[in-house]
Structure 1
Amino acid sequence: MTEMIFIDDTELMDRLRAGDDLALKVIYKKYWSLLYNSAFNMLQDQQACEDIIQELFINLWNKREQIEIKASLKSYLFASVRYEVFRQVRHGSVREDIFENIQDRLQTPSEYGNIEHRELLSYVNSIVNNLSEKCKVVYKLSREEQLSHKEIATKLDISTKTVENHLNKALRQLRISLGLW
């Protein structure tokens, strides 16, 4: 197996397509922790991330003859993880406490998942940009500038209750748009 670790991904995929289960083991060993960390940076749920990665490798084996990789194996694997994370977010498989701070985590750079983070952040931002103007401003002041409810109320000359209402409306819309309700 040690000699296979030094084989490039193209040859590993060729061997995998030919039914070489050792090639799958090498790919698994090479990419598992990177893929797990990428998923965990977004979901913060160990079991869900392990399940995603396990399912990815099962599908890689089961569909090995049909898989067409356009760029690289690494890109294909990371894209697969990203899409599964997005699917889980859309279908409400993400715990509520994880969802509450998803934007904060997405703005923190990750050594493994910059592309995944940017895409999910872009999706969340597009939802936020469709909020009413006042709701969007309140949400951004809260999440991007980390202002307190009182500071936002003072800055916008509205009551703290109005700030809370706008934030609740924004979070409700994000939950609905992401399929969490």
Structure 2
Amino acid sequence: MRNMTNDEQLLRAIAMGNTEALEQLYARYWQHLFTAAYNVLKNKAVCEDIVQEAFLQLWQRRETLEIQTTLQAYLFSVIRYSVFKHIKKEQSHSQVFQHLPERLHYITPEEIVIEKNIRSQLAVIVNSLPEKCREIYLLSREEQLSHNEIASRINISPKTVENHITIALKKIRFGIARMTGIFFLLNLI
């Protein structure tokens, strides 16, 4: 069988019972899926089983499977669900929960570059805020102070603090959207 180039072709072939198409799909995604599972579970054998099971399910459901997203997103969702199912089943293994938040999301190199660019743009925008506005924003976000704590620290009213933070957030959102073309802001602010 010739090497199929896109996932849709492979899925159609798999739906018709083509095992070579399944092998191509497996070769294309198994390492990324394994890594995503391993980043959370840190157990090679369990992660290999989870990936194998994902492709087995794909094969078993091949004739009725309807994927609403991309195949890659679908496969990562299956892996994520299986990992959480495994964690729930094995709750007594406390090492699974060590550093869990850091391991929950498999980060691609592209995501790292995008986040770095957005953070850099955010710093430029924050530095361009008026002095008082910037000071209040940084006290709120970097020092995690409440509006009342900021107000008492710099001797202004909590309402003025709220107004400055609102202004800062509007300017930051607009600046990020203008620079990146993204009209929503990830949880960086």
| TM-score bucket (shorter structure) | 0.5 to 0.7
1:13 and 1:76 map into 2 onto residues whose CA distance is 12
Cα deviation code 1:5-61 (max 9, x no counterpart): x42111110000000000000000000001000111111111110000011111111
Change (3 A) 1:104 1:69: closer
Decide which structure has the larger Cα Rg and report it: 2
Change (3 A) 1:61 1:111: same
State the Cα distance separating 1:94 from its structure 2 match. Answer: 7.2
2:106 and 2:61 map into 1 onto residues whose CA distance is 33
2:92 and 2:39 map into 1 onto residues whose CA distance is 13
2:37 and 2:106 map into 1 onto residues whose CA distance is 13
Counterpart of 2:21 (choices 9, 23, 40) is 23
**Matched residue pairs, number?**
110
State the Cα distance separating 1:63 from its structure 2 match. Answer: 1.1
1:90 and 1:80 map into 2 onto residues whose CA distance is 15
> Is the aligned partner of 1:88 residue 2:86?
yes
Alignment of 1:13-92 (within 5 A): 13-92=11-90
1:50 and 1:109 map into 2 onto residues whose CA distance is 16
Q: Name the aligned partner's letter for residue 52 of structure 1.
A: I
What TM-score do you get using the length of structure 2 for normalisation? 0.53
What RMSD over aligned residues (CA atoms) do the two structures have, in Å?
A: 2.2
2:8 and 2:90 map into 1 onto residues whose CA distance is 36
Q: Is residue 28–residue 57 contact of structure 1 (8 Å, CA) maintained in 2?
A: yes
> Is the aligned partner of 1:12 residue 2:10?
yes
